[in-house]
Homo-oligomer: A and B are copies of this chain.
Amino acid sequence: MAVDEIRSILGNDAVSVDSHDLDEHGYSEWSTSNTDVRPVAIVRPNSTEEVSGIAKICTKYKVPMVPYGAGSSVEGNFSSPYSGVCLDLSGMNNIVAFHPEDMDVVVQAGVNWTNLNDEIKHSGLFLPLDPSPTALVGGMIATNCSGTNAMRYGTMKDYVVNLTVVLADGSIIKTRHRPRKTSAGYNLTGLFTGSEGTLGIITEATLKLAIIPESFSVAIATFSTVKGAADAAFKMMRRGVPLAALELMDDVQMKVINKSGGAGGRMWEERPTLFLKFSGSQKAVEDNIRLAQEITKSNGCHAFESANTEDQMESLWSARKQALWANLAVRPEGTQIWSTDVAVPLSRMAELIEISKERASKLGLYNSVLGHVGDGNFHQVVMYNPDVEKQRKAVSDCVDSMMVSALEMEGTVSGEHGIGLGKKHCLQKELGPATIGVMRALKETLDPHWLLNPGKVFDK
Contact = CB atoms under 8 A, between A and B. Distances in A.
Contact of A144 (B183, B242, B438): B183
Given A102-B345, A346-B101, A194 B183 contact: yes
A95 to B, nearest CB: 17
A250 interface: no
Contacts of A345: 99, 101-102, 104, 178-180
Which has the most chain B C-beta neighbours within 10 Å: A171, A291, A430, A435?
A435
Contact of A446 (B157, B346, B431, B441): B441
Interface stretch (A29-37, A318-326, A405-413): A405-413
A134 to B, nearest CB: 18
A271 interface: no
User: How many copies of this chain?
Assistant: 2
Interface stretch (A281-289, A362-370, A381-389): A281-289
Nearest to A198: B186
A217 to B, nearest CB: 15
Interface residues of A, number: 95
Interface in A2-31: none
Interface string A373-403: 0011100000000000000000000000000
Given A103-B346, A172-B434, A435-B175, A427 B185 contact: yes
Contacts of A413: 184
Interface string A64-78: 000000000000000
B346 A182 contact: no
B347 A99 contact: yes
Contacts of A414: 182-184
B173 A435 contact: yes
Contact of A157 (B155, B187, B435): B187
Contact of A185 (B283, B284, B377, B431): B431
A237 interface: yes
A280 interface: yes
A185 B416 contact: no
Interface stretch (A39-47, A84-92, A417-425): A417-425
A60 interface: no
B346 A180 contact: yes
A154 to B, nearest CB: 7
A181 B150 contact: yes
A179 B412 contact: yes
13 contacts: A99-B345, A145-B183, A154-B154, A155-B183, A167-B438, A181-B343, A181-B415, A182-B412, A183-B415, A183-B416, A185-B435, A185-B436, A187-B195
Given A102-B346, A179-B412, 10 more contacts: A146-B183, A167-B438, A178-B411, A182-B343, A183-B417, A184-B431, A186-B195, A187-B194, A188-B438, A284-B287
